[in-house]
């Protein structure tokens, strides 16, 4: 039997407002669409909702999946087909971005890469900078539970995979040191989002992209745990206090905002 979805509104996972259905896509819709490629249709409908208050876009189609179901049906051997940058390209790009944002991290800096997959980013970053880097991934290496707190927690292309965003963020911020920072990437809805809707390539259930943030929803999600979010050149930094490690970055925010207005 095909999955049946409640046609009425459901509580937004960020702000709790009544979020109506936005539309439906096939389970095999993937990020390959950006390259003009498509997978054969699965015949499994995935419904998304959009919150009228914070603009968060989400689906509850995966809410009841177990970790085993995710491993079998999403993050399996075929995942590399829909995310070819996952293994090599993204870790290398992320290292360059880290070095640009934190050009001279103190040798005592502890870094945790959350959702680090095979650990390639951690390996490259430790080699390039000499800082201590730990990698953790709840699917690729669930037994390597991180302990303590870290001056920098990186989280590249992870938030869009969160089934329960508030729970995921609570786990993340619990790993950030008091004067530390969370460095993230996830694409945010832009001004043209309403025109593209579910046709946007980043809304991709086969990639596990089930939580699509707006600037408002991302800010609200972290505000609830006492963190401020700023965005610099596509990278989001969340922090409680402006420490020496990020003071030079926060100063760039007004300039970034001016560029957007120009």
SS3 of residue 177 by DSSP: strand
pLDDT at 254: 64
pLDDT at 228: 96
Domain 10-261 bears CATH identifier 3.40.50.150: yes
E strand spans, 38-175: 45-50, 57-58, 110-114, 132-136, 150-156
pLDDT at 258: 47
Q: pLDDT > 70: what percent of the chain?
A: 94
- Full-model pTM: 0.92
pLDDT higher than 80, residue 141: no
How far apart are alpha carbons 28 and 10 in whole angstroms?
24
Domain layout of the chain by residue ranges: 10-261
pLDDT higher than 90, residue 106: no
The mean pLDDT value for 123-128 works out to 94
pLDDT at 257: 55
């Amino acid at each position: 039997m095909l999955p049946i979805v409640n046609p009425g509104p459901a509580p937004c996972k960020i702000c709790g407002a009544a979020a109506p259905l936005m539309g439906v896509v096939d389970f095999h819709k993937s990020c390959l669409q950006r390259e003009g490629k498509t997978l054969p249709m699965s015949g499994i409908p995935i419904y998304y909702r959009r919150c009228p208050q914070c603009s968060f876009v989400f689906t509850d189609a995966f809410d009841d999946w177990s970790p085993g179901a995710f491993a079998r049906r999403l993050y399996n051997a075929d995942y590399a087909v829909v995310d070819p940058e996952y293994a090599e390209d993204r870790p290398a790009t992320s290292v360059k971005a880290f070095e640009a944002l934190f050009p001279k991290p103190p040798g005592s800096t502890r870094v945790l890469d959350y959702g680090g997959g095979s650990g390639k980013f951690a390996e490259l970053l430790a080699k390039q900078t000499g800082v201590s880097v730990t990698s953790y991934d709840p699917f690729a290496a669930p037994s390597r539970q991180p302990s303590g707190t870290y001056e920098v927690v990186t989280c590249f292309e992870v938030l869009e995979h969160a089934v329960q965003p508030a729970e995921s963020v609570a786990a993340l911020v619990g790993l950030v040191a008091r004067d530390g920072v969370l460095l993230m990437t996830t694409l945010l809805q832009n001004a043209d989002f309403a025109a593209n809707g579910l046709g946007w390539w980043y809304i991709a259930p086969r990639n596990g992209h089930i939580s699509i943030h707006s600037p408002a929803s991302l800010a609200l999600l972290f505000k609830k745990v006492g963190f401020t979010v700023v965005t610099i050149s596509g990278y989001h930094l969340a922090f409680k206090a402006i420490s020496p490690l990020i003071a030079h970055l926060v100063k760039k925010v007004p300039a970034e905002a001016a560029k957007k207005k120009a």
